[in-house]
Amino acid sequence: MYDHHEIMDGTRSPLWAGFLSLAATGLGHIYCGKIEKGLVLFFISFVFAPIISSSMTQGTSSFSLAAVIGSVLILVFVFFYALIDAVITAKKINKPYTLKEYNRWYIYLAFIIVSVTYPTNLANTIRDHVVQAYKIPSNSMVPGILKHDFVLINKAVYRKHSPEVGDVVIFINPNKRHLDFMKRIVAMPGDTLEIKNNVVFINDSPLGYRDANDDALKALGKQVDGTVIIEINGSATYGIMLTQDKMPDFQKTKIPNGHCFVLGDNRNNSQDSRKFGPVPLCDIKGRVESIYLPAESWSRFGSYKDLH
């Protein structure tokens, strides 16, 4: 019988070191006998998911976006560092290597299983309950959100307070529940809403309107094919777009309890509560927080801000 510590295994293969690093960050170092460094790199690859979760539930939208982007960049750096350094470490071992207790195939397999399953499950949890990315397929939210924008949705924000008028939200389409829609909340439970001659009336009072800032419109590029104006809805102000066609009138409707009324900012080109009725508040998945890959202009990158 040989003591495991006395078994000699030649040198360490750079190819295997690289492969194991690809399978699980830090595992290439463990293969090379650098257990402390390998474990540090392995756990670093998991530590940023809770940071992302905490930032989305506790921080501002600007901080949340910075935390997500920063965490992703650090994880990418750690991944490539671990891969390259493991290969270099293996090449430097030019004498017979004494196998350690952890240099066993089932130990490597355990690290790989954790590396594969834990991030997948955690990523699904974050996507379902904390933050989710969406690519915008239509122009129904122009000028606030443009077609081909990539946005982040905060799914934890409504755990602390209810949705509010002016929020741009993702919700389950009432008639096609396999689809997610994005619109703006314009009325809450108990409110009455009516549309006459391109003017929205809330509780029998017309919303205010004023011209949009021309400088703000430059970042919208070619997606503006109508007149952009600012709608004033209580304390919320945001841009909407009207084309030459008159917006259809909508008869006075009282919003039932537990529901909200949503409209697209592109008022003449949007399927919203005028088509499918008020949206249950329980079907709202989250609020738009950030634009991480903007269409038209990089000046729109960052925290989502309505036109004022």
CATH number of domain containing 284:
2.10.109.10
Identify the three-state secondary structure at position 122: helix
Examine the fold and report which residue of 103, 129, 155 is the final residue of a domain before the chain moves on: 129
Map residue 7 onto helix, strand or coil: coil
- Which of 76, 95, 129 is the last residue in one of the domains? 129
* CA neighbor of 134 nearest in space, from 102, 170, 161: 170
End of a domain among 129, 156, 177? Answer: 129
Q: Say if residues 228 and 239 touch (Cβ distance below 8 Å).
A: yes
163 located within any domain = yes
User: Does residue 143 have a cis bond before it (omega within 30 degrees)?
Assistant: yes
Residue 14 lies in a domain: yes
The predicted model scores a pTM of 0.72
Q: Phi, psi at residue 40, to the nearest 5°?
A: -60, -50
Same domain, 143 and 247: yes
d(CA 33, CA 27): 10
Mean pLDDT taken over the chain: 88
- If asked whether residues 91 and 212 sit together in one domain, one would say no
Residue 97 has pLDDT above 80, yes or no: yes
Task: Indicate the number of domains in the chain.
Answer: 2
Residues 147 and 294 in one domain: yes
Whether residues 118 and 180 share a domain: the answer is no
Nearest-CA neighbor of 48 among 82, 84, 73? Answer: 73
> Lowest mean pLDDT: which of 7-16, 30-39, 236-245, 252-261?
7-16
User: For residues 154 and 53, what is the distance between their CA atoms, to the nearest angstrom?
Assistant: 10
| pLDDT at residue 125 in the model | 66
In the block, residue with structure tokens 């089932």: 106
258 belongs to a structural domain: yes
> Does 172 share its domain with 299?
yes
pLDDT band at 266 (very low <50, low <70, confident <90, very high): very high
Q: How many CB atoms lie within 10 A of CB 209?
A: 15
Sequence-distant (6+) residues with CB within 8 A of 275 are none
308 domain residue, yes or no: no
The answer on pLDDT for 57 being more than 60 is: no
Query: In this structure, is residue 158 part of a structural domain?
Result: yes
Average pLDDT over residues 42-67: 66
pLDDT in the model for residue 114: 87
Q: Do 171 and 81 reside in the same domain of the chain?
A: no
What range defines the domain where residue 54 resides? 4-129
Residue 150 placed within a domain: yes
pLDDT digits (tens, 9 = 90+) for 193-247: 999 999 999 999 999 999 988 777 888 888 998 999 999 999 999 999 998 888 8
Among the listed ranges 87-101, 249-263, 264-278, which one has the minimum average pLDDT value?
87-101
